[in-house]
Amino acid sequence: MTEKPLIGLVQGDPAGIGPELMVKLLSDDAVRERANIAIIGDPSVIGRGESVVGHTIDRHHVSALERDQAAGQILHLDLAIEDIESVPLAQVSAAGGRSSLTGLETAFGLSANGIIDGICFMPFNKESMHLGGNPFMDEIGFARDYFGIDTAASEFNMAHGMWNGRVTSHVPMREVPDMLSEERICQSIELADSTLRLAGYDRPRIVVAAYNPHAGEGGLMGREEIDIIRPAVKRMQERQMQVSGPFPADTLWLKVRDGEYDVVVTMYHDQGQIAIKLLGFDQGVSLLAGLPVPVTTPAHGTAFDIAGQNKANLDPARNAFMMACDLAQGLSKAGGWYTQT
């Protein structure tokens, strides 16, 4: 892609800070400069953001999106969501959940048809999504189902240049050990490598976290390191990836914070989430990696406590938008998520 990518900017839950973040994003010169943008949302939701921020966004309303309309103007694909206008601020609601799901599903469809190159969505509220009919534990489950993906697509996080991919995510801790396998860990390492390459890293420096305390201490406190994690790391090293580990989780994040590695592959949800939220929540981005289209979102939630107050920090949303652009261009150049390795 030599031209700018076309990014679908998807409304999240209108009860939260999403509407105001969208308007702030669309008012940001660097954002408008970086990509062509199509808003995918209900007009009343953007209107809500406009009145919070006190700024109106010039945009061209369309009922069907086409690629060549996008140069030089912001497009707005109108979604009609039942009961959306009555969604109260800062409250859980089924309509708020439907808004999130419908927006994302519409964007997936547009990307599958080659119309948009990347997706950046505003925060969802999990409880509203359950009420709104989402049967999946998380967005990645929804996306995998939509695209029929059975490879290791998974959620990544990034803050201050520290990336994190997970081998397992939204599963009970009791089930994690059975899900860990050499194959699955290899897939996660490979996904980390290809994702960072798409984002512009020449040779990503990958580090793999241990599963057990003290990395099992030679098998005294668990054998996963010896039996599956180390062999997986070795296999990926043989494929010329720059990967080290497994290292104990407590000292590993120090090295990542100090810039020794670009991406950490963690074995379970909290192993990465605790660190990355504490080290960089004010900047954090979540990415659904390994799908046919890059999908990003700010790592924070709907922030009901400050919704409608024009106080929300734009940085995570701006970082998410920029990452979607970088990956969209990387993907277009590479032809697919996995082709370089």
Q: Which of 96, 216, 290, 298 binds another protein (CB under 8 A)?
A: 216
Q: CA–CA separation, 134 vs 238, rounded Å?
A: 41
Closest to another protein by CB, 3 vs 250, is: 250
Closest separation in Å from C-beta 108 to another protein = 23
Question: In whole angstroms, what is the distance from residue 267 CA to residue 185 CA?
Answer: 8
Verify binding: residue 282, another protein, rule CB under 8 A. Answer: no
* C-beta of 246 vs 330, nearer to another protein: 246
What Cα–Cα distance (Å) separates residue 274 from each residue in 181, 200, 229? 23, 26, 21
Q: Does 229 bind another protein (CB under 8 A)?
A: no
Query: Which CB sits closer to another protein, 78 or 250?
Result: 250
How far is residue 167 from each of residues 27, 104, 140, 208, measured CA to CA in Å? 37, 24, 13, 10
- Candidate segments 91-99, 146-154, 183-191, 209-217, binder of another protein by CB under 8 A: 209-217
- What is the distance of C-alpha 32 from the center of its chain? 20
Residue 148 or 174: the one with the smaller Cβ distance to another protein is 174
* E-state strands within 16-175: 36-41, 60-62, 75-78, 118-121, 154-159, 162-166
What is the footprint of another protein within residues 69-108 (CB under 8 A)?
none
| Subset of 165-194 contacting another protein (CB under 8 A) | 169-177
Nearer to another protein, 11 or 302 (CB): 302
Distance of alpha carbon 237 from alpha carbon 229, whole angstroms = 12
Stretch that binds another protein, among 33-41, 75-83, 189-197, 247-255 (CB under 8 A): 247-255
What residues have CB less than 8 Å from 147, skipping those under 6 apart? Answer: 108, 112, 291, 292
Q: Any contact of residue 161 with another protein (CB under 8 A)?
A: no
160 interacts with another protein by CB under 8 A: no
Helix (H, G, I), strand (E, B) or coil at 259: coil
What radius of gyration do the chain's Cα atoms show? 20
Residues that bind another protein (CB under 8 A): 126, 137, 169-177, 211-214, 216-218, 220-224, 248-254, 257, 268-271, 273-275, 277-279, 281
